[in-house]
Amino acid sequence: MLSLPALVIIVCAATGPLMVMVVYSFLAPGDYGNVKWEFSTDGWVGIFLQRDIFDDTLMWADAHLSIFWRSLSLSMITTVMTLIFGVPTAWFIATQPPGKREFWLFLITVPFWTNLLVRTIAIQELLRAEGVFNNVLIFVGVIDAPIQLMFTNFAIAFGMTYVYLPLMVLPVYAAVDKLDFRLVEAAHDLYAGRWTAFRRVILPLIKPGIIAGSILVFIPSLGAYVTPRVLGGGKNLMFGNLIELQFGAGRNWPLGAALSLVLMAAVMISLIWYVRVTSREQADG
């Protein structure tokens, strides 16, 4: 009885909306949005296949497949880029004197104080034709005329790397902060070079933080909406934009519900993999 209020909240706030999406994914789309209460699997079929408007034959939904691949590839690129910039940043902060670490961590968390849309629009000032990047390249003589950076995959990857970088830095910093640096000194005493000490001592000890940061970056990148919408324009859609399109202009709610469940399944697989990896490491000591 004491846990009943919590169970009611979980059912109503989490399981309830999820079941609505499951039910909607097996219904027919309405004429002007919403759904018709007729059983149909067209929503799930439409994820990968589409019907020809002339002879009603099924063919691959090339647009959807390209969006899936773009979402996956850009999410992986974002994860790798945040890892490249995040690990040295976390290492720098963790190796500072205790009195200075709070200041650097404060700077890392400052972007979270600003709305995501505002931060994304600010990035446009760097990437647009008259922006900082093009002006600097023209000034140093690398290019003669502005190059197109906005509304490209590069712009989306750059924007998501900036937005999600703190999500990589903080878990890695927590892992480095708990690192026993006497082990690194012992590795150097045993004639290990810097790269060998990093690969054989430091990396295995901070790997849980790296995995946690990678999951925290990869999952929101996979379903990102604001950054691809602002920096990618209408031609470079990602998974989140495709889902919104089905519930909006596409007026195909069953397909949008099915896409939402596919995205949730991808997130669930990533989390299960993370739990298994960390549980195996804890079992191995």
Per-residue pLDDT at 114: 86
pLDDT of residue 55: 74
Residue 150 · residue 231 · CB < 8 Å: yes
What are the phi and psi torsion angles at 237 (to 5°)? -80, 155
Whether 52 is covered by a domain: the verdict is no
> In sequence order, what are the beta bridge partners of 27?
39
What is the C-alpha to C-alpha distance for residues 50 and 62, in angstroms, rounded to an integer? 9
Count Cβ neighbours within 10 Å for each residue of 115-150 and write b for 16 or more, e otherwise: eeeebbeebeebbbeebebbeebeeeeeeeeeeebb
- Whether residue 7 lies inside any domain: the answer is no
- C-alpha to C-alpha distance for 102 and 228, rounded to whole angstroms: 32
- How far are the Cα atoms of 50, 72, 82, 262, 271 from residue 218, in angstroms, in the given order? 29, 9, 10, 15, 11
Domain hosting residue 131, numbered range = 63-283
In a domain, residue 34? The reply is no
Residue 221 lies in a domain: yes
Phi, psi of 29 (to 5 degrees): -70, 145
State the DSSP code for 59: E
- State the pLDDT at residue 285: 57
CATH number of the domain that residue 178 is part of: 1.10.3720.10
Closest by CA position to 242, among listed 54, 79, 81, 61: 61
Residue type, 32: Y
Nearest 5°: the CA angle 88, 160, 100 is: 35
Tell me whether residue 44 is in a domain. Answer: no
Q: What is the pLDDT of residue 221?
A: 93
Which pLDDT belongs to residue 26?
95
Q: What pLDDT is stored for residue 283 in this prediction?
A: 63
Residue 38, in any domain of the structure: no
Residue 151 located in a structural domain: yes
Alpha helices in 223-252 (DSSP H): 226-232, 239-247
pLDDT tens digit sequence for 163-195: 999 999 999 999 999 888 899 889 988 988 888
Q: What is the pLDDT of residue 281?
A: 64
- State residue 282's pLDDT score: 62
Asked whether residue 125 is domain-assigned, the answer is: yes
Q: Which residues of the chain have pLDDT under 50?
A: none
Count up the domains in the chain and report the number: 1
